[in-house]
Chain A
Amino acid sequence: MTQPEGSVRDKKRQPISTTSEWTFELIRSYDREIARIAERYALDTYPNQIEVITAEQMMDAYASVGMPLGYHHWSYGKHFLSTEKNYKRGQMGLAYEIVINSDPCIAYLMEENTMCMQALVIAHACYGHNSFFKGNYLFQTWTDASSIIDYLVFAKQYIMQCEERHGIDAVEDLLDSCHALMNYGVDRYKRPYPISAEEERRRQKEREEHLQQQINDLWRTIPKGASKGGEQDAQRFPSEPQENILYFLEKHAPLLEPWQREIIRIVRKVAQYFYPQRQTQVMNEGWATFWHYTLTNDLYNEGLVTDGFMMEFLQAHTSVIYQPGFDSPYYSGINPYTLGFAMYSDIRRMCENPTDEDRAWFPDIAGSDWLSTLKFAMHSFKDESFILQYLSPKVIRDLKLFSILDDDQKDDLLVPAIHDEPGYKTIRELLAAQYNLGNREPNVQIWSVDRRGDRSLTLRHQQHDRKPLGSSTEEVLKHLHRLWGFDVHLEIWQGDKLVNSQHVPPKNEPEREGEFPRLDLVIPPI
C-alpha cells in the first residue's frame, strides 16, 4: 500500500462519509470521486449503469449466470436453488457485485453492503471490469457490448414462442442437448459477426427457409450418374474437421426443424459471448482488483475516506485475494484474483522499482512507464499468453508455486519444478498451459459424415498426454445423437493411432426402441 503522507492527511481530511450507511447521494459522490481519479489514469470505460438490488435479486442474477435476462431453463432454477440454500444457511456470502459486459456497463450493487463495500464494488466493477471489457482485444473482437442486451431479449422471446408452439418439453430437450455441447459451440479462430437483435429478427425468417433448402440439397440422394459417383464419394464431408460442433449441427443436421436450428444458434451465440470471459478470468479479475486497490488508496491519500473505511476495505480486499495453500482444506485451485492482482502489481513494481533480476528477465518492462505497460498487458493478451509473458520469478516465489506431474503409468508423483532458479521457466510454461482452454477442454472435432450410407456422424478425440475423456461423455454423445438424428461414433486417437471408440447407439447391442431419443423420428421427404 502506498504510505499515506502524514502532512496531507492532517491538512485537509474531509471524508465523503463517516458512517457505514449508504445513500444514493453518497453512492453518486463516491462514484464521482472514483471517476475523477480513474480519469487521472485515463481508464477508458463504457458509461456506467449502477443498479442497486436486494440479496434475492442478486441470487436471481447469479442463477442466470450473469445474463441480465436469460431464457427459461431448469438448469438456471437448479443454480438458483443451490445458491439460495447456501446463502440461507450462511455457507456462503453472495458476491459483492455482478457486472455485465454491455454498453452501458451494468453493475449490480447489493442493498445489504456497507458504504465501503459499495465504493469498493464501484471501483472494482465500474472502472476495473468495465475498462477491461472495453480494452481487451478478445472482448473487442468477439463480443459486441452494445447489442448483447437486445440479442438476449430476442433470444428469450424466440424461445418463449417456441415453447408456446412446440411445447415446453420439446424445447427443454433441445436446450439440454445444446447446453451439453455449449463449449463446443464457439469459433475459436474466426471472428464472428457482431450480433444484433434487429438484424437477427430480420434475417431469421429468411435463414429458416434458405437453410432448409440447403440441407435438403446436401442430402439429395438422386443418383447423379454412376461414373461421377465414385469420385465424389471418396471425398470426405466435411472436407476439414470441424471444431464448432453446434455450428455444424445447425447447418447440417438432417432432421432438425428450422426453429430447432435457430435455438442451436442462440445457444451458440451465448456461448460465444461468454468465450472471452472464460479465457481472461485471471486477467480480468486481476485487473479489476488492481484498480479497486489503487483507486481506493488514492481516495484515502486525498483524505476522502476515513481510517475505518480503509480498515474495512483492506479486510475485504485481503479476503478477496486470499490464496489457501495446496494442503489447506479450503484449497480449490489457484485463486484468479490472487494471481491476477499479484501479476499486475508486480508489473507496476518492475516498472517503478526494477531489480537486477527484473532487468534480466524483463528488459523491456523494467523501468518503463508503468501505466502504459500495464494497459498494453491488459489489452493484448489472454490468460494463457499473459502468464507466459509476464509471470515473474518474484510472483512465483511469493505464491510458492510448484508443479506436480501425475502420470498414471508411474507409481509416484514427480515434482518437476518449484519456485527456484531452474524452475521458473518451467512453472511459467506449465501454469500458462493450465489456462489454455485448448488444453483444458478435450480436443473433440467432427471428422466425417457418412453421406451415402447410414448418415452416421464420426467425431475424433485427439488425446493430449493420454488424458481420457470424463465419465459423462456417453451422456453428451446421447445428446449429440438426439440433435444429429442418426448414429454417432466417437473415435479416440493418440497421435495417428486409433485407441478406442464409443458409439451411440452402442454397437453389437440391438437397439431398443425409444432408448436413444431423437428430436424427430419423421424423416422429411428429401
Chain B
Amino acid sequence: MSYVIDRRLNGKNKSTVNRQRFLRRYRGHIKKAVEEAVSRRSITDMEHGEQISIPGRDIDEPVLHHGRGGRQTIVHPGNKEFSGGDHIPRPQGGGGGGQGSGKASNSGEGMDEFVFQITQEEFLDFMFEDLELPNLVKRHLTGTDTFKTVRAGISSEGNPSRINILRTLRSAHARRIALSGSSRKKLKEAMLELDRLKREEPDNFGDIQALEEEISKLHIRINRVPFLDTFDLKYNLLVKHPNPSSKAVMFCLMDVSGSMTQATKDVAKRFFILLYLFLKRNYDKIEVVFIRHHTSAKEVDEEEFFYSRETGGTIVSSALKMMQEIMAERYPVNEWNIYAAQASDGDNWNDDSPVCRDILINQIMPFVQYFTYVEITPREHQALWFEYEQVAEAFADTFAQQQLVSAGDIYPVFRELFQRRLTT
C-alpha cells in the first residue's frame, strides 16, 4: 500500500540553520572576501550578493583515509590497449591513470576552492557588521515626540466610543446573576411549593394566595435589578507608546566647482551610496536631499548631482546655509533623524571657511545625528579642514572628518567613521 503526500508546501528552508551555522563558522573568511569585494566592486553594484571562496583545505572535514603510496591495486573499466603482464610508465602529474575510485569521495574532491554564493542581505550584513549609526540610541531615548496608540486590555473608564459591548454585557449579566441570586432561589422554592399545594391541597386558598403574593413580590424584586448599570460599562483601553522616529533624511553635499574632477566625484558618489545603504538598514524610510554648490548652492536631483558639470569658484557656506534652510522648512527635528555627508576636495574661498564653521556649530550641528565630512584629495589640507577641526572638537560625538585619496580608501574610511564605539 502506498501513500502519496504532497509536501511541496512544507517549509523549504530546512537547511537554513545549517547554512547559518556554516556562515557563522567561516565568518572570518567571508568577511575578508566581502571587504575585498567592496573595494573591487563598482558601488552601483552593491545590490547583489557575492561569491565567496574559501580554500578547500580550510574547510575539509578530516577523516582517516589511505594516502597515496604503498602497493595499490585498482580495477578500472574500459580497457582498450593493455594485455595481462604489461608494464606501463607511471603517468605524470597526480597519477591520473590510477588513483581515484575509492578515496576520491573522501579526500579528492574539494581540494579546489570551496565557492558559494551569499545573498545581498548577507553581503550587506557582513559589510556593515560592527558598524553603528552614531547616536542612534540617543535619539531613541529622547526622540519620543511621536506616539502611537496601542490596545492595552480593558478598562472600566473611558470614552463612549470605545465601549466594548461584549465585555459590558458579560459583566452586566454576571451582576444580574449575583444580585438576584437569593430572590430567584426563593422564587424557585415558592413555585415548587405552589405547585405542590395546587396539586395536593387545592382547597387551601389562604396559603395559595399568600404564596402567589410572595411570588409576585419576588418577581418585582428580581425585575428591579437593572439590566445595565453604569459600573457594567467596559471600555477598550488604548495607551500611547512612544514611537521612536524611524525616518531619516540624508543630506548629500558636494562641491562641483571646477577643481572637482569626475574621478573625485565618483569617489564621493561611492561614499554617499555606502552611507545610503547603511542608513537603509536602520531606518524604515529615508529621504535623500542632494545639494551641490560652487559659489552658490542648489538642490538638485540625483542625476544632476553626480553628472552635470559646473565651473567656478567655491563657497562652501552657501551649501550649508541651504541645508539649514531645508532642515528648518521640511525636516522638523522631532520627526526626522538627520544625517549629512559632505564631500569636497578641500578647496574653499579662504574667508568663507570661518563662516562655514559658525553655521555648522550654531545652526546645524545641534540638530543633526551625525555629520561626516570627507575630503577627497591627495594634497595638503587647506583652511576648511582646519576650521572643521574646531567643529569636531565642539561636537566630538556627532562630527567626523576623514581624508580619502582613492576609491580603495572609501570602505576603510567609512568603517572608521561609523565604527561601533564603546559607550562611555
Q: Which residues of A contact B (CB under 8 A)?
A: 24, 27-28, 31, 35, 47-54, 56-57, 59-61, 63-64, 72-78, 80-82, 84-85, 88, 104, 108, 111, 126, 168, 172, 176, 179-184, 323-328, 331-334, 338, 399-409, 411-420, 422-423, 427, 430-431, 433-434, 440-442, 444, 463-473, 475-476, 479
Q: Does B78 contact A (CB under 8 A)?
A: yes
- Among B25, B75, B80, B103, chain A packs the most CB atoms within 10 A around the CB of B75
Q: List 29 A-B contacts (CB under 8 A).
A: A24-B6, A31-B2, A47-B2, A50-B4, A52-B4, A53-B7, A57-B7, A73-B21, A77-B18, A77-B21, A78-B22, A82-B116, A85-B115, A331-B76, A331-B100, A333-B100, A400-B77, A400-B80, A402-B79, A402-B82, A404-B97, A413-B97, A415-B85, A418-B82, A442-B65, A464-B70, A465-B72, A467-B69, A472-B65
Q: In the complex, are the beta carbons of B82 and A401 less than 8 A apart? A: no
**CA of A433 to CA of B75 in the docked complex: distance in angstroms?**
10
Residues of A within 8 A of B4 (CB): 24, 27-28, 31, 50-52
A50 vs B74: C-alpha distance when bound (angstroms):
39
Contact B21 A172 (CB under 8 A): yes
Select A172's contact among B14, B25, B117, beta carbons within 8 Å: B25
| Closest chain A residue, CB of each to CB of B59 | A78
B15, CB-defined interface residue at 8 Å: yes
CB of B64 closer than 8 Å to a CB of A: yes
B88 interface contact, C-beta 8 A = yes
B366 within 8 A of A: no
Set of chain A residues within 8 Å of B21, measured between Cβ atoms: 72-74, 77, 168, 172
A409 to B76, CA, bound (A): 22
Range of interface residues on chain B? 35 or more
Question: Does A467 lie within 8 Å of B18, measured CB to CB?
Answer: no
Asked if B55 is at the interface (CB within 8 A of a chain A CB), the reply is no
Asked if residues A52 and B69 are in contact (CB atoms below 8 Å), the reply is no
B101, chain A: closest CB distance, angstroms = 3
- B63 contacts A183, CB within 8 Å? yes
Known: A47-B3, A75-B61, A78-B59. A465 touches B71 (CB 8 A): yes
Specify which chain B residues have a CB less than 8 angstroms from the CB of A81 in the assembled complex.
Answer: 19, 22, 116-117
Partner of A72, one of B17, B78, B79, B117: B17
Say whether B330 faces chain A, with CB atoms less than 8 Å apart.
no
A49 & B2 in contact (Cβ 8 Å cutoff): yes
Interchain CB contact (< 8 A) of B79 among A88, A324, A414, A419? A419
| Extra 4 A-B pairs, beta carbons < 8 Å, given A168-B24, A442-B64 | A418-B82, A418-B84, A431-B75, A472-B107
Q: Which chain A residue lies CB-closest to B60?
A: A472
Q: CA–CA, A463 to B99, complex, Å?
A: 18
Please state if B5 and A401 are interface contacts (CB–CB under 8 Å).
Answer: no
- Is the Cβ of B66 less than 8 Å from the Cβ of A80? no
A467 to B72, CA, bound (A): 7
B161 within 8 A of A: no
Q: Of B7, B17, B75, which contacts A430 at CB under 8 A?
A: B75
DSSP majority for the A interface? mixed
What are the residues of chain B within 8 A of A409 when measuring CB–CB? 71
Q: Which residue of A lies closest to B10 (CB)?
A: A57
A82 touches B114 (CB 8 A): yes
Hey, which chain B residues are within 8 Å of A440, CB to CB? 66, 102-103
Known: A57-B7, A72-B18, A434-B101. A427 touches B87 (CB 8 A): no
> A5 CB to closest chain B CB, in angstroms?
29
A residues near B22, Cβ cutoff 8 Å: 74-75, 77-78, 80-81
| Residues of B close to A74: CB separation below 8 A | 18, 21-22, 24-25
Docked-complex contact B64 and A334, CB < 8 angstroms: no
Report B267 CB to chain A, min CB distance, Å: 34
- For the complex, what is the distance from the CA of A54 to the CA of B6, rounded to whole Å? 10
CB distance from B116 to the nearest CB of A (A): 4
Query: Which of A52, A334, A406, A408 gathers the greatest number of chain B CB atoms within 10 Å?
Result: A406
Q: With A and B bound together, what is the CA distance between A60 and B7 in angstroms?
A: 13
Given contacts A325-B78, A404-B73, whether A63 and B5 have CB atoms under 8 Å apart is no
Contact mask for chain B residues 92-105; partner A; CB cutoff 8 A; 1 contact, 0 none: 00010111111110
List residues of chain B with CB within 8 A of the CB of A471. 67, 107
Query: In the complex the two chains form, what is the Cα distance from A25 to B406 in whole Å?
Result: 65
Q: Are B70 and A468 closer than 8 Å at their CB atoms?
A: yes
B67 with A334: CB separation less than 8 A: no
Q: Chain B residues with Cβ under 8 A from A53's Cβ?
A: 7-8, 10
Contact of B65 among A61, A332, A433, A441 (CB under 8 A): A441
CA distance A468 to B67 in the complex (A): 5
Residue of chain A at shortest CB distance from B4 = A50
CB-CB under 8 A from A401, the residues of chain B are 75-77, 79
Q: Are B71's CB and A183's CB within 8 A?
A: no
Which residues of chain B from 24 to 81 have a CB within 8 Å of any chain A CB? 24-25, 59-80
Most chain A beta carbons < 10 A, residue from B12, B84, B85, B106: B84
- Check A402/B76 contact, CB under 8 A, given A412-B88, A467-B71: yes
Q: Do residues B64 and A404 form an inter-chain contact, with CB atoms below 8 A?
A: no
- B37 CB to nearest chain A CB (Å): 17
Measured between alpha carbons, how far is A72 from B22 in the docked complex, in Å? 10
Q: Is B203 close to A, CB under 8 A?
A: no
Q: Is the CB of A404 within 8 A of B74?
A: yes
Chain B residues in 8 Å Cβ range of A28? 2, 4
The answer to whether B73 touches A416, judged by C-beta atoms less than 8 angstroms apart, is yes
A404 and B76 within 8 A (CB): yes
The answer to whether B74 and A406 touch across the interface, beta carbons within 8 angstroms, is yes
A409 smallest CB distance to B (angstroms): 8
Interface check B20, CB cutoff 8 A: yes
Asked if A434 contacts B67 (CB within 8 A), the reply is no
Q: Could you tell me the distance in whole angstroms from the C-beta of A61 to the nearest C-beta in chain B?
A: 8
Closest Cβ–Cβ distance, residue B77 to chain A (whole Å): 5
Contact pattern, B 369-391, Cβ under 8 Å of A = 1, otherwise 0: 00000000000000000000000
* B15 contact from A64, A85, A419, A442, Cβ within 8 A: A64
Given A24-B6, A74-B21, A466–B70 Cβ distance below 8 Å? yes
In the bound assembly, the distance between CA atoms of A126 and B4 in angstroms comes to 11
A84 & B100 in contact (Cβ 8 Å cutoff): no
Taking the nearest CB of chain A, how far is it from the CB of B176, in angstroms? 51
Bound CA span A4–B2, Å: 29
Q: Name the residue in A48, A75, A430, A472 with the highest tally of chain B Cβ atoms < 10 Å from its Cβ.
A: A472
Known: A28-B4, A413-B98. A403 touches B69 (CB 8 A): no
C-alpha gap A465/B15 in the complex (Å): 42
CB-defined interface of B261-273 with A at 8 Å, one 1/0 digit per residue?
A: 0000000000000
Chain B residue contacts of A76, Cβ below 8 A: 15, 18
B84 and A469 form a contact (CB under 8 A): no
Judge whether B65 and A406 touch: CB under 8 Å.
no
What is the CB-to-nearest-CB distance from A132 to chain B, in angstroms, rounded to a whole number? 17
Chain B residues with CB under 8 A of A331: 76, 78, 100
A contact residues around B83 at 8 Å (CB): 415, 418, 420
Q: Once bound together, how far apart are the Cα atoms of A431 and B77, in whole Å?
A: 11
| Bound: A172/B17 CA distance, A | 13
Residues of chain A with a CB closer than 8 A to B67's CB:
467-471
Complex Cα gap A415–B81 (Å): 11
Give the residues in chain B near A470, CB-CB below 8 Å.
64-67, 103, 106-107
In the assembled complex, which residues on chain B have CB atoms less than 8 Å from the CB atom of A467?
66-67, 69-72
